[in-house]
Structure 1
Amino acid sequence: MASPTARATVRVRYAETDQMGVVYHANYFVWCEIGRVEFFRQLGHDYRSMELEDDCHLPVVEASCRYRTPARYDDEVVIETRVKLLRGPIVKFGYRLLRIGAENEVILAEAETTHICVDRNMQKRNLPSRYAEAMRETMTAQE
């Protein structure tokens, strides 16, 4: 059975921080994208094939993020990604962004993105079955 949560790690770059040395808020959504790409890769799929071979694109139609603790330059950030909802062409991902320390992990932020599956002409379509089945399997593992 597939793991319900995929994990990816990034290290905060200086360019991602603001004048106060805190990660600029929009960068969390870049990290969510890294998490989604790694989620598909850990399922044995990749975004490039999904787009080129299956004409399946997943634009973001809604995004939210609850910031809890600031991330700073050189922090190691773990992105946990899971599927929260899969219904027809709609996919919702949930994310936890964590700073992992020697003795504990701190939740930096929790985010969600909602996507609509479309073809290259931006016409709504259902997610191809091989991706939908793999994603549903991770949702079953969460229960």
Structure 2
Amino acid sequence: MKSRNPVWTSRWHGTTFRVRYQETDQMGVVYHANYLSWFESGRTEMFRELGFAYRSLENMGVFLPVTTADLQFKSPARYDDLVAVYARLTTFGALRVVYEYEIRRLAGTETGEPGASALAGLSAPADPGQLPGELLVTGSTSHVWLNTDWKPVRLDRVLPELFLAITMALRKEGGAV
């Protein structure tokens, strides 16, 4: 049986920021739940780079809540590290969406170093082995399209123009398999 959710290998979209003191725990490392917030930042910025904003989706009457989350911790991030959150879509369908993430520590970007804060809006090749920085966390999240009554909907039926626009944006960047 053929899957109704096409698999995509879109390019990685990245955003950078410094780890704030409040994001660390008593052990001096980033508290594990904060990585999920960083995943959210990565996916919303990726969607924005594709030409869409989550707020506009909600204004159109659809939500995209997380239904599952998976994280693998490789090495901890620490206060004041400059990190990059990379996100890409691996599945985009009428009912569900799956994102993949990598969080990496960027080397040579100490506080006050010229250009260290000018790394926002990173984009990268599809091969994760080519992403810059030390790998800290990998993971994925699955999402389901819902209406304002929190009932599952098929995006291609309730907002076919949006479904087509997102599909075309992904194809334009070379993501269709």
Confirm or deny a common fold (TM above 0.5).
Answer: yes
The equivalent of 1:74 in structure 2 is 80
Shift of 1:55: 1.1
The equivalent of 1:106 in structure 2 is 134
Paired residues of 1:4 and 1:142 also in contact (CA < 8 A): no
Aligned residue for 1:141, secondary structure, equals coil
The equivalent of 1:141 in structure 2 is 175
Distance 1:72 1:142 in 2: 36
* Bigger radius of gyration: 2
CA RMSD of aligned residues (A): 1.9
Distance 1:59 1:112 in 2: 13
The equivalent of 1:61 in structure 2 is 67
Distance 1:49 1:73 in 2: 33
The equivalent of 1:15 in structure 2 is 22
The equivalent of 2:166 in structure 1 is 131
Distance 2:176 2:108 in 1: 27
Question: Structure 1, residues 52-103: CA drift from partner, whole Å, max 9, x if none?
Answer: 1x21210000001000000000001101100011232110000000001029
Q: Percent identity?
A: 38
Aligned residue for 2:89, secondary structure, equals strand
Paired residues of 1:119 and 1:125 also in contact (CA < 8 A): yes
The equivalent of 2:48 in structure 1 is 41
Question: Structure 1, residues 24-62: CA drift from partner, whole Å, max 9, x if none?
Answer: 00000000000011011101110111111x212100000
Distance 2:11 2:62 in 1: 22
Aligned residue for 2:146, secondary structure, equals coil
Uncovered stretches (5+) of structure 1, i.e. residues with no partner: none
Uncovered stretches (5+) of structure 2, i.e. residues with no partner: 1-9, 110-131, 156-161
| TM-score when normalising by structure 1 | 0.89
Distance 2:176 2:82 in 1: 26
Matches within 5 A, 1:1-12: 4-12=11-19
| TM-score when normalising by structure 2 | 0.73
For residue 139 of structure 2, what is the amino acid of its counterpart?
A: A
Shift of 1:135: 3.6
Paired residues of 1:13 and 1:73 also in contact (CA < 8 A): yes
Distance 1:136 1:123 in 2: 28
Shift of 1:119: 0.8
Indicate how the Cα distance of structure 1 residues 43 and 72 shifts in structure 2: closer, same or farther if over 3 A, else same.
Answer: same
Distance 2:176 2:84 in 1: 19
